[in-house]
Amino acid sequence: MHVGAPVLSNNPSDDNAGGAMVGWMVGLSVMAVSLTATEAEPLPSPPPAPYCEGEYADSYAALSPKARAFEQATQKKYTYCVRSTAVYECLSYGAEGNVRRTRTPVSAHGTAFAYKQQAGETLLLTNEHVVEWPDVTSDAHPVDGVPSGCKRVKDGLSIVENEADHYDRDDVPLSKAVVDPQLDLAVIKSKAPLTVMPWKVGKSAAVRERDVVDVRGFPLGVFNATNMGKVISAYDRDEYKEWYHDDFVIDALLSQGNSGSPVLAISCKTGEFELVGVYHAGYSRGSALNVVVGIDQARDLMTNLRRTPKRPQEGTTPLDALARARVAKRAEVSATPFFPFGSRTAAVFPRADGTLLFALYEQDFPRRVHPLIVMEDLPVASTDEGFGKVGRVWFGGERGLLERPRAEQDAELQQQLARLLDAMRRDATLAFSYQDSLPGSDESRQTFDTSARLGKTLERTIVAHRDLSDTAAELADRFAPDATEPATRTESVLKNPPPPGIHLGLTGEPAGQTRQPAKSAQGKEARTPAGR
């Protein structure tokens, strides 16, 4: 069963005809009664249909003739088809071990509309996802036709006639002015003069259910089209991935390529259109459930070209001494000090001297329980110094763990390990906060909502750290002990790590043999986290 139904346009003539018939029948009965007492009196005319009970109309009959004439003028279109292009470079190895570089061009189409001219340029508004491409492709940031792990080396924006327009000489080049991932909005600019939308910016807070809306865009990038519909929900909170804003939902039949289209409502005061939002997404399992970014949140972006401050994540606390104490206490009293880290499981173990040991396990944990990496997080002398400082690190495999002293680590490896430990600190803090919120989450609406927001934040963090989790696995694969190197038992490290300089191995270190320096991270491609 489909949620929603085809949009039916209201026909004022039909409504008036129905109203006249009802009025005639009622009037006839009233006249029959009144004639028995007094002379017949003229009947009052029926009241007009309630097209406008709020700020915006619920029927196109409220549109003024002037506004209707302007929108029907084909030479005054203020919406444009935007082509966004990028080139990705992918590295691979040939049969002889030589590095191959292949470049893959990609393109996509969306909609933008001009709303202002200033300083000799035309400003247009569209979606962030129309103009932005991920820096590096990954499972969390895929690009159709491009393998994971490829780097963006070039991108571009332009106005074209449609997706089939391959004549470049008349394309209008565009550049980015400001991009806001939270709102999924972007202001782009053109040096060429463009037709600007004549309608004023309205108030999305005044939009109500059943208000009629008009959407102008380029579905599938094929042609300029007008879609009509109604507001079916005046509020929808959007926290998908990096989005963090308020939407309203409409039932207009929209498609890919409509992203960035202006959504207009009819003012009851003037009979003219007003901009109330920007279409940006739709529910994948709904045939006509399309969400619109409310325009009230975009005023600062459009006027001052300033993005909204980055939201603080729910449950995210500063990595300070207080956060460390909470993590240490949670790990000490819990029999399951585990938390998700990307596509893997991690854990934190406290030590009597105040040191925390962060361990990262393989994807098939707990079938195999040997950790890939164990990192020492040492306490700091002063609370002003933060959460802690990086200590020793062990890389693990099926044979056990092997410490790699910092003297053997190059600058790149040390930077990767510091970033890995910082991420595990934050994920442990967030995961433990979420786990602690679950038992009492149903005590009140506030605690329930807090727990739900923590859960959503944790889901986003898991996706964001998949690449970093994979990078840790690659490091373990390179630096884990091989058959010629002594290995330390996992229990020895987690329960009572040996003092620095002392090695407790399963096998003795052969006489006269010295450990080789850790393999440099250089020369082997390592995936790094990429955020859109």
Computed from CA positions of residues 401, 407, 413, 416, in that sequence, does the dihedral angle turn out positive or negative? positive
In the chain, the amino acid numbered 306 is R
Which neighbouring-strand residues pair with 87?
105, 154
146 in the same domain as 265: yes
With a pLDDT cut of 90, the percent of the chain lying above it is 51
Is residue 264 situated within a structural domain?
yes
- Regarding whether 342 and 280 lie in a shared domain, the answer is no
The verdict on 186 and 217 lying in the same domain is: yes
Domain carrying residue 330: 321-495
Is the domain of 121 the same as that of 237?
Answer: yes
pLDDT, one tens digit per residue, over 451-506 is 888 888 888 888 888 889 999 999 999 998 888 888 888 888 887 766 665 443 33
- Whether 522 is in a domain gets the answer no
Same domain membership, residue 342 and residue 292: no
For the residues of 23-36, what is the DSSP string, one character each? Answer: HHHHHHHHHHHHHT
- Quick check: is 311 in a domain? no
> Do residue 255 and residue 329 come from a single domain?
no
Residue 12 lies in a domain: no
pTM: 0.66
Q: Distance (Å, rounded) from C-alpha 432 to C-alpha 527?
A: 28
Whole-number pLDDT of residue 320: 85
Measured CA to CA, the distance from residue 174 to residue 122 in angstroms comes to 10
Could you give the 3-state DSSP secondary structure of residue 99?
A: strand
Paired with 350 in beta bridges are 356
Eight-class DSSP state of 289: -
Q: 287 and 204: one domain?
A: yes
Q: Indicate whether 173 and 276 sit together in one domain.
A: yes
Domain annotation covers residue 38? no
The CATH number of whichever domain residue 258 belongs to comes to 2.40.10.120
> In sequence order, what are the residues at sequence separation of 6 or more whose Cβ sits closer than 8 angstroms to the Cβ of residue 29?
none
pLDDT digits (tens, 9 = 90+) for 264-314: 999 999 999 999 999 999 988 877 899 999 999 999 999 999 988 776 555
For residue 108, what pLDDT band results from cuts at 50, 70 and 90?
very high
Domain identity same for 160 and 216? yes
Q: Both tokens of residue 242?
A: 């990096």
Residue 403 maps to a domain: yes
Give 318's contacts (C-beta < 8 A, 6+ positions apart).
none
Work out how many domains the chain is built from and give that number: 2
pLDDT recorded at residue 21: 33
Q: What digits encode the pLDDT tens for the residues 359-410?
A: 999 999 988 888 999 999 999 887 677 899 899 999 988 888 999 888 888 8
User: Is the confidence at residue 525, as pLDDT, over 70?
Assistant: no
Domain-embedded: residue 507:
no
Question: Residue 289 domain-assigned?
Answer: yes
Whether omega before 366 lies within 30 degrees of 0, making that bond cis, reads yes
CA distances from residue 174 to 77, 107, 112, 187, 305 in whole angstroms, order as listed: 18, 15, 11, 10, 16
pLDDT above 70 covers what percent of the chain?
A: 81
Q: Are 287 and 405 part of one and the same domain?
A: no
141-180 confidence digits (pLDDT tens): 899 999 999 999 999 999 999 999 999 899 999 999 999 9
DSSP string for residues in 60-76? GGGS-HHHHHHHT-TT-
Q: Do 209 and 95 share a domain, yes or no?
A: yes
Is there a single domain that holds both residue 199 and residue 163?
Answer: yes
Distance CA 340, CA 297 (A): 34
